[in-house]
Amino acid sequence: METGLKKGDVISFQLPNWNEFLIIHLAATRIGTISNPLIPIYRDREIDYMVRLAESKILVIPDTFRSFDYTKMVQRLRPNWPDLEHVFVLSEHVSDGMRAFSDLLNEPWEERRDRTELDRVTLDPNEITEIVFTSGTSGEPKGVMHTHNTLCVSSDYWVDHLQLTENDVAFMASTFAHQTGFLYGARLVLHCGGGDGCFFQDIWNPREFVASIEREKITFTAGATPFLQDTIQLEGLEHYDLRSLRAFIAVGAPIPRVLVRQAGEKLPCRIVSGWGQTEDGVVTLTLLNDSEEKLTETDGRPFHGMRLKVVDSEGRICPPHVEGSLLCKGPALFVGYLKRMHQTLAEFRDGWFMTGDRAVMDEQGYIRISGRDKDIIIRGGENIPVAYVENVLYEHPDILAAQLIAVSDARLQEKACACLIMKQGKEPLTMEAMRAFLEKKGVAKQYWPEHIQIFADFPRTSSGKIKKFRLREILNEKMEDESAAVKFLYLMGINIVAMP
């Protein structure tokens, strides 16, 4: 309030899982301002767009994190943000035009300001309290708007479903700026009486995770499926006391059956799988006592009050076990995309949100995500916005056409492959050259394709539309053939050395 921040203003913060993230969000909530968490991996291109669209009044950043200098990025971008009034940095050494965040913490506000100012701030549970950006399929991120009610009901669902009490201790390694980390790391413990706390990591480390279970008596955690895989594959896992852990919630990617069986052998907890989105939080979870079949063959069933239906192209409800488009309705659903009313209305059909996912539903209401209507790649639980990356690749002077395709990966489920057609007379783009180009364009590293395939042309329909499904088949067949060849040569005693 001292900085001039008023009810309804937006405060953006691009922070790792640090205490200051929680302090900022709770303080912003108390005075009626809107929290805009930004994922730490975002770089110039994403941050410029998001801060400008949100019309943020305050931005809070670290000085550096994982060898990246955030202050230099903000200095480059600040001229593009006419609404930004203050930049606070988590460092004692700040650049010109910025302030140290510690200035806010060290000031004795309780002596300088009248506490009744806070009492005069009235909050409505249906007011916007969070703007969180999600990957867009049209080439630009979308600002998903949530209210106090939509966020609170999402957290309350977990309290009931997982039977959480004040005695539970949470662990969160998913970034707080991702809706999984925000709802079920930064906020959830407040919904079960504060509990015995939440322990978090700013950089995922499976060994520190299991050490924390032993030391802090962690009772539950949530994260992408690769987190579970990393944990059970940890060397020396059997030497840690993990008896306090009772639930590992794996979301963001399907859980392979073999992984569930391995986890059952190595961990004392129940594995729970689920499905959700930034727009609606986690909507489905399997039960703590569900069978292995339900856990590995489904993504759970919806919480009480959340409704799902699977429909065909005409909007008719599909019979059980028949694939269709997944629609969602319920109290956890977002209230719109920031400044994109037409896009918001286009995503709804008769009051139902069109999730963009395809699914099948069984007779008991359990769903299984089978594909996506919307064009997106999910790499270890993180969305890669396909159209956005393709648009950047099209800016390369040597590229005639670009398509980003999902290829299978044993650990992350999916990785991105850049399928390129080069302009006539231009040399094929190398991985090094592509990475340098994307870095120059300010694209987050987690969005960079990890494979390149050069084509003379793409498979197309009679009308000229690119057959992405066929590209996907070609790439996955090629990778299966290469994997089989490597295995054969290994059995023949020939070692293959991977080129960098």
Domain annotation covers residue 496: no
pLDDT 10s digits, 445-473? 989 999 999 999 998 754 456 778 788 88
Domain boundary among the residues 374, 392, 410 is at 374
pLDDT for res 497: 42
Q: What is the CATH number of the domain that holds 282?
A: 3.40.50.12780
pLDDT 10s digits, 410-444? 888 899 999 999 999 999 999 999 999 999 999 99
CA distance 343 to 353: 12
Name which of 186-195, 326-335, 341-350 the model is least confident about: 186-195
pLDDT for res 369: 85
pLDDT for res 253: 64
User: Do both 207 and 272 map to the same domain?
Assistant: yes
Domain annotation covers residue 500: no
pLDDT for res 14: 98
User: Do both 215 and 311 map to the same domain?
Assistant: yes
User: Do both 361 and 437 map to the same domain?
Assistant: no
pLDDT 10s digits, 262-290? 898 999 999 999 999 999 999 999 999 99
SS3 246: coil
Contact predicate 3/9, CB 8 Å:
no
Which ranges of 128-286 does DSSP label H, i.e. alpha helix?
148-161, 179-181, 206-216, 225-232, 257-266
Which is it for strands 247-251 and 220-223: parallel, antiparallel or unpaired?
A: parallel
Domain boundary among the residues 334, 357, 374 is at 374
pLDDT for res 496: 43
Domain annotation covers residue 452: yes
Which is it for strands 58-62 and 86-90: parallel, antiparallel or unpaired?
A: parallel
Cβ-count burial 318-331 (b if 16+ within 10 Å, e if not): beeeeebbbbbbbb
Cβ neighbour number for residue 499 with a 10 Å cutoff: 4
Which of 422, 409, 415 is closest to 458 using CA atoms? 422
CA distance 378 to 239: 33
Structural domain harbouring 432: 377-491
User: Do both 441 and 425 map to the same domain?
Assistant: yes
Domain annotation covers residue 48: yes
Domain boundary among the residues 317, 348, 374 is at 374
Which of 28, 106, 108 is closest to 60 using CA atoms? 28
pLDDT 10s digits, 247-265? 999 887 667 777 888 898 9
User: Do both 217 and 301 map to the same domain?
Assistant: yes
